[in-house]
Amino acid sequence: MACCAALAAALSAAAPVSPALAAPPGPATAPADAASSSGGAARAAAAVAPPSAYADATTARAAAAIADAFQLRQYYVTGDLPDGLFDEQCVFVDPTTRVVGSAKYADVVARLFDAARSKADLLSIGPGPEPSTVALRWRLEGQLSLPGNPPIKAYTGTTQYVLDAATGRVVEQLESWDITALDAFASSFLPASLWHGAPPAPPVEVLLQQQQQQQQQQQARGG
């Protein structure tokens, strides 16, 4: 989940390969704004590992489906989960809360964010540290769907997706942030004069450019 998900918990009181994974493995769809609307040069793209980087085709298909859901559906701020990608009893964990069940998670996210004013950007996606896992880096900012529409300070984080090896469905979504939970909460609900936390994350274009430069430097050292 994302910033202040603990508040969302209060608001939400409350086999065969999955259809979302049926397509052959392939690169994730590029962000719609990969090039400037004025026809200028394309910005640096998210780092998307090729299918061959994964240990098996099931994980590669899941990674492509996750990337599409993240970018095209913006599920991190809309709660719009594609059918079949997440197990019904998937466990969603972030630094503030734990939600069990994909339907409950979708409801929590839909209630928490003002989707029209929030956005999650994909920075990179590739194999996770263990078999049948996928790691995704992201940047998020926007507004909460609460009285006064509190702002969400731009921040970055990493999400690890743990898959069922047989079905390819996500059974765990484990999220970590590059800011503290206290900073995420306080920066939304306290004026800047009272809270001096970490600076906002740079714009996504800057992060992607920095990422690309780091990759080029690593390749140059390796060569």
Q: Which residues pair with 175 in a beta bridge?
A: 159
- pLDDT value at residue 21: 52
Antiparallel, parallel or unpaired: β 47-48 and 119-127: parallel
- pLDDT value at residue 42: 54
**Average pLDDT for runs of 10 along the chain of length 223:** 46 41 41 40 82 96 98 98 97 96 98 96 98 98 93 96 97 97 89 86 96 90 72
Tell me if the pTM is above 0.85.
no
- pLDDT value at residue 43: 66
- pLDDT value at residue 173: 98
Close Cβ partners of 171 (under 8 Å, ≥ 6 residues apart): 87, 89, 90, 91, 162, 163, 164
DSSP per-residue codes, 74-114: -HHHH--PPTTTEEEEEEEE-SS-EEESHHHHHHHHHHHB-
Name the residue with tokens 């026809």: 39
Joined tokens for residue 198: 């970490």
Say which DSSP state 159 is in: E
CATH class of 5-28+43-222: alpha beta
- pLDDT value at residue 40: 43
For Cα atoms 117, 123, 126, give the angle at the middle one, nearest 5 degrees.
135
